[in-house]
Amino acid sequence: MPRGKPESQLSALTAIALVGQVGLIMAGAIGAGFMAGLFLDRWLGARGLALTAMILLGVAAGGYTVYRIILKGFVQ
């Protein structure tokens, strides 16, 4: 076994890719919640209530997905 970095340690390039992926996932989840909230507000006439709920749901879904990806990256 060669001496060097342990296998569990992420390389710099892998860490940069992980950060980029985290940002895109959060932006995508919040954007999808925003678009769904706009649609529901117009359809239901909810005056911003559906928009707020869907954005919060997007933040929660994105956060959960990011949590799973980060755990997967560090546990392997």
Q: For residues 71 and 43, give the distance between their C-alpha atoms in angstroms, rounded to a whole number.
A: 39
Indicate if the pLDDT at residue 3 is higher than 50. Answer: yes
The C-alpha angle with vertex 22 and arms to 41 and 73, in degrees rounded to 5, equals 140
35 φ, ψ (degrees, to nearest 5): -65, -45
Percent of the chain with pLDDT over 90: 66
Pure H helices in 1-76: 12-44, 49-75
pTM summary value: 0.79
